[in-house]
Amino acid sequence: MVICRSVHWTRIRAMAAIGIAAILPLESAYADVYPVRNKGATKVQVIEQRHMPETLNGALGGPGHVVAKFSDLIQKAIAYKTAHPSETVEIRSATFRMAMNVYVGFNPANPSTYLDVSNTDFAGADSEKLLWSYCKAAQAGVKVQMIIHEKSESNVSLAAITNYLDANGGPNLSYRIVGWGEGSDEQMHNKFLLINKTRTGTTEQHSVVYTATANFDEWRAYGPVSSHNWHQSGVVLNQNSALYGAYQKYFDSALWPHAQNSNPNAFRTAMQNLHSAPGGLNYAEDADGISAYFYPYFASNVWTTSGNPVAKIMNIINTGANVTAPYVKMNQAYLRFSNGNWSEFGTHFMTDIREMALQHGLNLASPSTSNVKFVVMDADNGSSDFSPLASSNVHLNKKTHAKNFQFALTIGGTPHYYSLSGSTNAKHNDFMLKANNMIVIHEVGAAAKEVYLDFGDMFTYMFSQ
């Protein structure tokens, strides 16, 4: 279990009613590390980062848990290499934006600063620059490969970041900068970390996959800069070597060979070949209920059940036998309905939502019908695109950077729960053109829905904002 001083926002509100909240640190409302959930052999943990004030009484270091988890896992890779110097320990990292001045509290023995983030060193020996975490791992003998999109923070040049890596990384660190172009369609948009072996105390784990919604954005003394002070989430999975292998194949066979190309054409061709080859590239649902999707994926449109898990689950809801009680939740940064060049995600999604209402006798226009609830930061069109959903169940222009979906349904009397996250926004180009990934956790049975409830807790927070 990760040591964390954070507590649930709902718990704080409940305690406030009886006068207990005043004794808790105020910042404890702004992040959460949920318990490790055992899904068969796979261990799953959800990480959350909530909205923060610009400052907190002049304090340094705010709870940036989703970003800090990258460094936290890197420390555990170093610990494994230190304990087993003859073994090969590997880190693979891909991120859309890399800021220079992001410092992380990495030491769980100091709970007052652990998983905090600031724009300066704030905890002495217990905090360090996130870029240094990668360099420190390489200096400790860990093989580190980094893919960074050319986006960097506004007041620091990309050259400053690469100069830092050149000066401090050493021979075990290699990086590649993606410069495919300036448009949204040309982005390496992933935010994930792969580590083959980690150690926490005397506990050792393998096949760590961490996928997040957060970039390494600029930070202020206490919280993210105003323009990036968003709701974020991350999911850590380990002990699943097949899932790890799928992510490693994506990294090694498509991203790494083509990261330095002047445009994404060769990368997209490689992705098409990998998806078309026997066995494909996407990771089919395993016995633990875990699956993964890698983008771009090539099909006639974005709404394909083979490459889009949202479309796949909506198809089960609308055409599957003995399906009842469907529920859909979306916490999404960017949702698109209109584009002159292709059919958009939002149009397909709402068509299936309307079909769901027809098939299952739901009056979505009624505020009391809670089967569909959306939180969206940026939708290209107005609320009319969400018709017939009641306006009280569609919360637009909210400060979320999540890319999360939840589905609940009953098949033949057995409850099924799906939780989806990753770097993929609800847009055609995020699925069909950009480099992205998505994790799906499928839980079966009412007693097994722990991850679904963790995602539900995050959704409830954002829906209340």
Distance separating alpha carbons of residues 272 and 284, to the nearest angstrom: 17
Instruction: For 188-243, write each residue's pLDDT tens digit.
Output: 999 999 999 999 999 999 999 999 999 999 999 999 998 999 999 999 999 999 99
**Residue 459 pLDDT class (50, 70, 90 cuts):** very high
pLDDT tens for residues 58-100? 889 999 999 999 999 999 999 999 999 999 999 999 999 888 9
* Residue 395 pLDDT greater than 70, yes or no: yes
**Residue 215 CB neighbours (<10 A):** 22
When pLDDT is averaged across residues 431-447 and rounded to a whole number, the result is 97
Compute the distance between CA of residue 348 and CA of residue 337 in angstroms, rounded to an integer: 8
Ranges 9-13, 280-284, 359-363: which has the least confidence: 9-13
Q: 31: which residues sit within 8 A by CB, 6+ positions away?
A: 4, 6, 48, 49, 50, 63, 64, 65, 66, 115
Nearest Cα residue to 430 out of 147, 189, 94, 177: 189
Q: Rounded distance, CA 276 to CA 299, Å?
A: 11
Both tokens of 216, joined, read 């390494």
Of 402, 389, 381, 304, the C-alpha closest to 339 is: 381
| Alpha-carbon span 434 to 437, nearest angstrom | 10
pTM for the full predicted model: 0.93
Task: Give residue 7's pLDDT.
Answer: 38
Q: Is the pLDDT of residue 42 over 60?
A: yes
In this prediction, residues 315-344 reach a mean pLDDT of 96
First to last CA, the chain: 29
Q: What is the pairing mode between strands 232-238 and 42-49?
A: antiparallel
3-state secondary structure of 337: coil
The pLDDT, as a whole number, for residue 1 is 33
Q: 312-327 as b/e, with b when 16 or more CB fall inside 10 Å?
A: bbbbbbbeeeebeebb
Strands 414-422 and 203-212: unpaired
Q: Measured at the alpha carbon of residue 352, what is the angle toward residues 346 and 355, in degrees to the nearest 5?
A: 145
**Contacts of residue 114, Cβ cutoff 8 Å, sequence gap at least 6:** 3, 4, 5, 105, 106, 107, 108, 126
Q: Indicate whether 6 pLDDT > 90.
A: no
What is the pLDDT, as a whole number, of residue 260? 96
What the block records as the tokens of 143 is 């093989």
Task: Identify the helix (H) or strand (E) that includes residue 388.
Answer: none
User: 18 falls in which pLDDT band (50, 70, 90)?
Assistant: very low
pLDDT band at 155 (very low <50, low <70, confident <90, very high): low
Tell me the C-alpha distance between 300 and 313, whole Å.
19
Whether the per-residue pLDDT at 151 is higher than 90: the answer is no
pLDDT band at 12 (very low <50, low <70, confident <90, very high): very low
| Omega cis (within 30) before 309 | no
238-258 pLDDT, tens digit each: 999 999 999 999 999 999 999
CB atoms < 10 A from the CB of 257, how many? Answer: 14
DSSP states along 74-141: HHHHHHHHHH-TTS--EEEEEEEEE-SS-EEE--TT-TTTTTEEESS--SGGGEEEHHHHHHHHHHTT
Mean of all residue pLDDT scores within the chain: 92
124 backbone φψ class: left, alpha, beta (φ>0; ψ -120 to 50): left
The fraction of the chain above a pLDDT of 70, given in percent, is 92
Identify the structural domains of the chain with CATH numbers, from first to last. 9-33+52-229 (3.30.870), 285-463 (3.30.870.10)
Reduce the DSSP state of residue 71 to 3 states and report it: helix
d(CA 198, CA 82): 10
